[in-house]
């Protein structure tokens, strides 16, 4: 490892706390990262930076470098595309306004979904609130937890495969910006954008690939290739895209605490890639352990 490097490996650049749909507080998550042997962890809650402050304190306390980040909800046609963003200014007015708009849309969408589900099952909005930290970015995982608490599903995954699946008829989309707008907002806030899990089975591959040139021109930094939900063929496609557009390749766990089977450090990012990511950022600094 380079002697002037201020962070240590292993490096995991994608995790969620209770600020969105993870099950641990940001501080406990950072402690779990230290316990798992990580040298560096990014906190990337959905559409929120509310966990940065607590996670930053915990990073110093537990000796893990923190890369503050976020996973922005975006949409191409009817497919959801997640945009990881790192080291941007969390007070940038346009980005703050856009994330507030997304969180608001998610809240109304969740209320509508629960109202629909409540016509057929014994579950209501109070059940969802009971599973949600005040101010958290609300998503289907919180509805899943309410269904589990009501005995209507055994686990989050069972709820996703059943009542929360779009085929069940209760699914609702919510407002989310185009990925190009997300990249532009993140770059304007001094941050570094990386497309999250761009090769899962349900992604808008063709539409996304057609947009790749524009996304790169706008400042897209990389693609999250090592993620458990990317398919083998999809990873080949990402290698070709990275080669063609000079994009960096990252790897991460997408840890959600007990909310998903994903374990901290199950996929990691090379230190050279994080060097370049940090060098590109102008909005915020890592919290070095």
Distance (Å, rounded) from C-alpha 115 to C-alpha 73? 23
| CA dihedral angle for residue 156, residue 157, residue 159, residue 163, rounded to 10 degrees | 150
Residue among 172, 175, 224, 181 at smallest CA distance from 203: 224
Pick from 21, 89, 98, 226: which binds Fe ion (CB under 5 A)?
A: 21
How many chain residues bind ligand AMP (CB under 6 A)? 10
Q: Going by C-beta distance under 8 Å and a sequence separation of 6 or more, which residues neighbour residue 151?
A: none
98 binds, among Fe ion, ligand AMP, Zn ion, none (CB under 5 to 8 A by kind): none
Considering the rule CB under 6 A, would residue 21 count as an interface residue with ligand AMP? yes
Q: Residue 226 is encoded by which pair of tokens? A: 């090592």
Q: Which of 51, 69, 141, 251 binds ligand AMP (CB under 6 A)?
A: 141
- 196 binds Fe ion per the rule CB under 5 A: yes
Closest CB to Fe ion among 196 and 215? 196
- Stated as kind and residue range, the H or E segment containing 43 is strand 40-43
Please tell me whether residue 24 binds Zn ion under the rule CB under 5 A.
no
Nearer to ligand AMP, 8 or 75 (CB): 75
Q: Report the residue from 31, 82, 109, 237 that binds Fe ion according to the rule CB under 5 A.
A: 82
Q: Closest separation between CB of residue 138 and ligand AMP, Å?
A: 7
Binding range to ligand AMP, per CB under 6 A, among 51-59, 134-142, 190-198, 216-224: 134-142
State the minimum distance, in angstroms, from the CB of residue 212 to Fe ion: 18
**Cα–Cα distance between 272 and 2 in angstroms, integer?**
9
Among 254, 259, 260, 264, binds Zn ion (CB under 5 A): 254
d(CA 136, CA 115): 20
Q: How far is residue 163's CA from residue 184's CA, in Å, rounded to a whole number?
A: 35
Pick out residues in 52-111 that bind Zn ion (CB under 5 A): 71
Applying CB under 5 A, the span of 87-95, 123-131, 167-175, 253-261 interacting with Zn ion comes to 253-261
Which is nearer to Zn ion, 172 or 200 (by Cβ)? 200
Q: How many residues touch Zn ion (CB under 5 A)?
A: 2
Q: Check if the beta carbon of residue 73 is closer than 8 Å to that of residue 82.
A: yes
Please give the backbone phi and psi of residue 248, each rounded to the nearest 5 degrees, phi first: -75, 155
- Site for ligand AMP (CB under 6 A): which residue of 256, 257, 274, 289? 256
What is the nearest approach in angstroms of Zn ion to the Cβ of residue 282? 24
Residue 21 · residue 137 · CB < 8 Å: yes
| Choices 174-182, 188-196, 207-215, 271-279; region in contact with Fe ion by CB under 5 A | 188-196
> Is the CB of residue 52 less than 8 Å from the CB of residue 24?
no
- Nearest distance, CB of residue 224 and ligand AMP, angstroms: 13
Q: At what angle do helices 52-62 and 26-35 cross, to 10 degrees?
A: 30
Torsion of CA 243, 246, 251, 256, to 10 degrees: -120
Side-chain-side CA neighbours of 160 within 13 Å: the count stands at: 9
Given candidates 118, 160, 219, 245, which one binds ligand AMP under the rule CB under 6 A?
A: 160
CB 137 → ligand AMP: shortest distance, Å? 9
Which residues form the interface with ligand AMP (CB under 6 A)? Answer: 21, 139-141, 156-157, 160, 256, 259-260
């Amino acid at each position: 490892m380079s002697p002037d490097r201020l962070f240590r490996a292993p490096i995991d650049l994608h995790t969620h706390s209770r600020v969105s749909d993870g099950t641990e507080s940001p501080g406990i998550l950072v402690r779990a990262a230290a316990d798992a042997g990580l040298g560096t962890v990014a906190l990337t809650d959905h559409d929120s930076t509310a966990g940065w402050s607590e996670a930053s304190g915990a990073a110093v306390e537990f000796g893990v470098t923190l890369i503050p980040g976020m996973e922005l909800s975006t949409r191409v046609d009817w497919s959801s595309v997640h945009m990881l963003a790192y080291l941007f200014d969390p007070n940038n007015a346009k980005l703050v306004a856009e994330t507030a708009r997304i969180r608001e849309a998610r809240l109304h969408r969740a209320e509508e979904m629960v109202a629909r589900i409540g016509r057929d099952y014994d579950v209501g909005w109070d059940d969802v609130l009971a599973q949600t930290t005040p101010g958290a970015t609300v998503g289907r995982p919180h509805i899943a937890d309410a269904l589990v608490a009501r005995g209507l599903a055994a686990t989050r995954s069972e709820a996703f495969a059943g009542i929360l699946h779009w085929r069940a008829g209760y699914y609702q989309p919510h407002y989310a910006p185009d990925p190009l707008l997300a990249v532009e907002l993140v770059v304007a806030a001094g941050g570094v954008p990386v497309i999250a899990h761009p090769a899962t089975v349900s992604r808008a591959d063709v539409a996304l690939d057609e947009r790749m040139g524009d996304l790169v021109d706008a400042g897209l930094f990389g693609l999250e290739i090592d993620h458990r939900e990317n398919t083998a063929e999809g990873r080949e496609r990402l290698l070709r895209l990275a080669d063609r557009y000079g994009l960096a390749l990252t790897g991460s766990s997408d840890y959600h605490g007990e909310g998903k089977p994903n374990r901290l450090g199950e996929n990691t990012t090379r230190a050279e890639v994080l060097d370049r990511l940090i060098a590109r950022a102008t909005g915020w600094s890592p919290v070095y352990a």
